[in-house]
């Protein structure tokens, strides 16, 4: 894995080569060494240890800009990358809205986060295989079939520019995902953390196995509106379709569902949502694509849309200060809140079940897609552990259901919140979200399993 010193050397080389040729230059060095072991049908199926470094240069030349990325790090290759970026920029028309590069100040609120665990970064294929063997043992002991992944490694992000900026972030990561299947049922669990030691893969295997066993011989229920208990992964994979609507650029483009609603109460009073990279359960770099420190932003407070996030470009158009959420420029997207934290409550999932006369418990949702960007209707399926709750107890597994639900309406119908947990799903970035009990969740059809 590339070190801070090596990354800075590459950045300094590129900036030095651009000096005198370009009006400004910005250099990202991104490295990834994350190995993934996959298993299915109680055996290892794929095992890969890729490694990659990318150098990405943005140059400003006479009111024009271009970005060029490459994966060669020799001095000659880096110099050529800069020269080619300058040549590309010269081919373009001047951009009257082009901003100068970010110039760091001493009091910009930059804070470091420590998210590197050496043991996780150097975990061996044999250690991953041991984890997987223990998962398969759980499956075999219950006559189930296990499939999933265990990955481990580290990522590096370094950024410098010709205005004196240098920022470096190194982070380890481990992820485990498990599906246990029986003849007509399945269960699932997933976790992601900067520390492999924080992932109890054997306990996850037991949890997935319990769900698979408990949902055998699923019944079929009629589609319609139900009270649902959404486990945190289900919450995460639904609400990820809402996050870009908090980006300033989505308002400039008149696409956000919150257009002209900032300051208004749009969601339920129990909804408070922050973007907070510094939260103890969060991951990621504390600076954005142009090197600005990420700020903690309250997006929603007690149901009121309070703030948007801004990169430098959208902030300029709104006449506000950037919040440190910009993506790498140039970009049509502008910015994105990457570190969502939803304020939780104190109701456990067991307590939610106990207080439900009739409802459905969802372990996870699948293939969620936006149907209507204005009303924020999304559709998707339940998967890997869907249960009918009756009389305060789980009655039986049920065949999977398709939903069509407005996220705005859903967040007005939340009647109980669990504690917020670091949660991984499949549709978006891991985030810190609670389980939710939601009334009037609309299921439109069933499927055959």
Work out whether 330 is an interface residue with another protein (CB under 8 A). Answer: yes
Work out whether 332 is an interface residue with another protein (CB under 8 A). Answer: yes
Work out whether 52 is an interface residue with another protein (CB under 8 A). Answer: yes
- Binding another protein (rule: CB under 8 A), the pick from 21, 49, 269, 390 is 49
Q: Among residue numbers 411 through 430, which ones bind another protein (CB under 8 A)?
A: 426
Work out whether 63 is an interface residue with another protein (CB under 8 A). Answer: no
Work out whether 161 is an interface residue with another protein (CB under 8 A). Answer: no
Work out whether 438 is an interface residue with another protein (CB under 8 A). Answer: no
Residue owning tokens 């790090």: 73
Closer residue to another protein (CB): 299 or 410: 410
Work out whether 279 is an interface residue with another protein (CB under 8 A). Answer: no
Counting residues that bind another protein (by CB under 8 A) gives: 93
Residue 351 CA: distances (Å) to CA of 48, 212, 296, 375, 435:
42, 21, 32, 31, 11
What single-letter DSSP state applies at residue 93?
P
Q: By C-alpha distance, which of 171, 134, 132 is closest to 151?
A: 132
Work out whether 373 is an interface residue with another protein (CB under 8 A). Answer: yes
Q: Among residue numbers 75 through 104, which ones bind another protein (CB under 8 A)?
A: 81, 84-85, 88, 91-93, 95, 97
Q: Are 356 and 436 in contact (CB under 8 A)?
A: no
Closer residue to another protein (CB): 49 or 203: 49
x/- letters, 188..227, toward another protein (CB under 8 A): x------------------------------------x--
Work out whether 38 is an interface residue with another protein (CB under 8 A). Answer: yes
Q: Rounded to the nearest whole angstrom, what is the least distance from the CB of residue 346 to another protein in the complex? A: 30
What single-letter DSSP state applies at residue 99?
P
- What is the rounded distance in angstroms from the CA atom of residue 230 to the CA atom of residue 434? 9
Closer residue to another protein (CB): 68 or 121: 68
Q: Are 315 and 329 in contact (CB under 8 A)?
A: no
Residue 361 CA: distances (Å) to CA of 122, 222, 388:
38, 15, 6
Q: Are 21 and 85 in contact (CB under 8 A)?
A: no
- Binding another protein (rule: CB under 8 A), the pick from 200, 370, 390, 395 is 370
Work out whether 380 is an interface residue with another protein (CB under 8 A). Answer: yes
The token duo for 6 is 């090596």
Work out whether 42 is an interface residue with another protein (CB under 8 A). Answer: yes
Work out whether 177 is an interface residue with another protein (CB under 8 A). Answer: yes
- Binding another protein (rule: CB under 8 A), the pick from 61, 68, 121, 238 is 68
Which SS3 state, helix, strand or coil, does residue 80 take? helix
- Binding another protein (rule: CB under 8 A), the pick from 3, 19, 21, 48 is 48
Work out whether 136 is an interface residue with another protein (CB under 8 A). Answer: yes
- What is the rounded distance in angstroms from the CA atom of residue 343 to the CA atom of residue 433? 7
What single-letter DSSP state applies at residue 151?
E
Question: At what angle are helices 4-18 and 75-90 packed, to 10 degrees?
Answer: 40
Closer residue to another protein (CB): 69 or 396: 69
Work out whether 442 is an interface residue with another protein (CB under 8 A). Answer: yes
- Binding another protein (rule: CB under 8 A), the pick from 404, 415, 419, 428 is 404
x/- letters, 243..272, toward another protein (CB under 8 A): ----------xxx---x-------------
Work out whether 152 is an interface residue with another protein (CB under 8 A). Answer: no
- Beta-carbon contacts of 411 under 8 Å, excluding residues fewer than 6 positions away, are 239, 267, 268, 271
- Beta-carbon contacts of 129 under 8 Å, excluding residues fewer than 6 positions away, are 37, 44
Closer residue to another protein (CB): 118 or 369: 369
Question: Rounded to the nearest 5 degrees, what angle is found at the Cα of 162, between the Cα atoms of 159 and 164?
Answer: 75
Q: Rounded to the nearest whole angstrom, what is the least distance from the CB of residue 409 to another protein in the complex? A: 8
Work out whether 302 is an interface residue with another protein (CB under 8 A). Answer: no
Strands (E), 314-357: 340-342
- What is the rounded distance in angstroms from the CA atom of residue 154 to the CA atom of residue 393? 42
């Amino acid at each position: 894995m590339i070190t801070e010193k090596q990354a800075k050397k590459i950045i300094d080389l590129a900036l030095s080569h651009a000096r005198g040729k370009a009006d400004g230059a910005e250099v990202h060095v991104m490295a990834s060494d994350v190995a993934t072991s996959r298993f299915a049908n109680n055996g290892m199926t794929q095992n890969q240890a890729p490694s990659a470094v990318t150098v990405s240069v943005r140059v400003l030349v006479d009111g024009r800009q271009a970005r060029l990325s490459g994966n060669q790090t020799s001095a000659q290759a880096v110099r050529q990358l800069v020269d080619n970026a300058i040549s590309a920029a010269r081919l373009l028309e001047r951009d009257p809205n082009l901003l100068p590069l970010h110039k760091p100040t001493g009091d910009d609120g930059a804070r470091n986060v420590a998210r590197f665990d050496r043991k996780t970064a150097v975990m061996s294929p044999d250690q991953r295989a041991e984890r997987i063997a223990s998962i398969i043992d759980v499956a075999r002991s219950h006559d189930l079939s296990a499939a999933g992944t265990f990955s481990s490694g580290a990522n590096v992000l370094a950024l410098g520019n010709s205005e004196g900026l240098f920022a470096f972030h190194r982070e380890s990561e481990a992820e485990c995902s498990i599906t246990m299947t029986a003849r007509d049922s399945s269960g699932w669990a997933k976790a992601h953390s900067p520390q492999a030691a924080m992932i109890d893969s054997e306990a996850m295997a037991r949890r997935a196995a319990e769900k698979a066993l408990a949902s055998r011989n699923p019944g079929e229920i009629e589609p319609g509106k139900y009270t649902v208990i959404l486990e945190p992964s289900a919450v995460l994979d639904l609400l990820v379709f809402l996050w870009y609507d908090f980006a300033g650029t989505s308002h400039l483009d008149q696409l956000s569902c919150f257009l002209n609603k900032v300051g208004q109460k749009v969601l339920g009073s129990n909804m408070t949502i922050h973007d907070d990279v510094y939260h103890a359960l969060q991951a990621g770099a504390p600076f954005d694509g142009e090197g600005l420190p990420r700020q903690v932003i309250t997006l929603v407070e007690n149901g009121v849309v309070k703030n948007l996030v801004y990169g430098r470009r959208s902030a300029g158009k709104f006449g506000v200060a950037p919040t440190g959420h910009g993506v790498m420029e140039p970009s049509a997207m502008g910015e994105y809140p990457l570190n969502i934290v939803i304020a939780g409550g104190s109701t456990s999932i067991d307590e939610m079940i106990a207080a439900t006369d009739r409802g459905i418990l969802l372990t996870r949702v699948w293939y969620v897609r936006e149907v209507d960007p204005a009303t924020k209707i999304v559709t998707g399926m339940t998967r890997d552990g869907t249960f009918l709750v009756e009389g305060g107890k789980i009655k039986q597994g049920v065949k999977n259901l398709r939903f069509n639900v407005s996220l705005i309406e859903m967040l007005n119908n939340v009647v109980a919140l669990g504690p917020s947990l670091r949660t991984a799903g499949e549709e978006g970035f891991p985030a810190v979200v609670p389980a939710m009990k939601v009334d009037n969740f609309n299921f439109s059809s069933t499927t055959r399993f």
